[in-house]
Amino acid sequence: MSPNQNVIEVTARDFDREVIERSHQVPVLVDFWAEWCGPCQMQLPILLKLAQEYGGKFVLAKVNTDREQELAMQFGIRSIPTMKLFKDGRVVEEVMGAQGEAALRALIDPYIERESDQARAEALRKAEAGDIEGALDLLRMAAADDPDNPRVLQDYARLAIQAGALDEARHLLDQLPANVRAGDEFRGLEALLALAETAREAPPEEELQAHVSQHPDDLEAREKLAARLALRSAWREALDQYLEILKRDRNFHDGIGRRGMLMVFDLLGSEDPLVGEYRRRMANWLY
């Protein structure tokens, strides 16, 4: 094994400390391997080279599956080599089979802290303090200096949506690479932007509520009301409006009843109890 301090052997006894806990500081790439595995041995020099080159920006944790069968079973390892990348205590990427250097860099790089992340952190502190414009200025500069950092672009887009700069947000989301666009955070941002675009020219919520009460078949007003409700995190009320659209006309506005519910699901995340509840209610009407 390499003398590099950023390459470690991990066992079931120390996995939580060396992988789960450490991944809150830096990404940890766990390589499930075995001595008899030819592809594992072929890939090892590449992994060691990257661990040396990145200089502590990620940790390579080696798990010998012959010795650590319990860990292999726990993480569902069916073939080796299998690599799982941990960040903030959870698996964020997974790949099976021997990988080339370029593929491994593409796997790791989105999770490596960069100089622009420091500006990003300062921008988020400003945003939490209520200085949205100041935060946006910092993120604009960070994005100009490091346009390949998806974390900067996504935070920039989120704050641009919050500030009502929707065209700017759309431009930012369109710049993100395919692997980022496939992620949960991107889908949530897409949903947030779509809701903001719907609500941009909409009347105030109170006016929409009164109008829908008097004109329950005005599905366009319901759609705008649902967007306004979702934007202020009134999730159940927003889902009820989309469900009502679905009940009255499932094809209205290219199926916005169903699509709107899916957008809210993306914002809530799959673990939220509301998602399970309203998926069932939606399915009852669709099928």
Backbone torsions φ then ψ of 147, nearest 5 degrees: -70, -10
Spatial distance between the Cα atoms of 83 and 51, rounded to a whole number of angstroms: 14
62 is known as an active-site residue: no
128 Cβ contact list (under 8 Å, min separation 6): none
37 is known as an active-site residue: yes
8, 37, 47, 161: the active-site residue = 37
Q: Is the alpha carbon torsion for 96, 101, 107, 113 positive or negative?
A: positive
7, 8, 10, 40: the active-site residue = 40
Backbone torsions φ then ψ of 219, nearest 5 degrees: -70, -25
State the DSSP H helix or E strand holding residue 116, giving kind and residue range, or none if neither. helix 115-128
Q: What is the set of active-site residues?
A: 37, 40
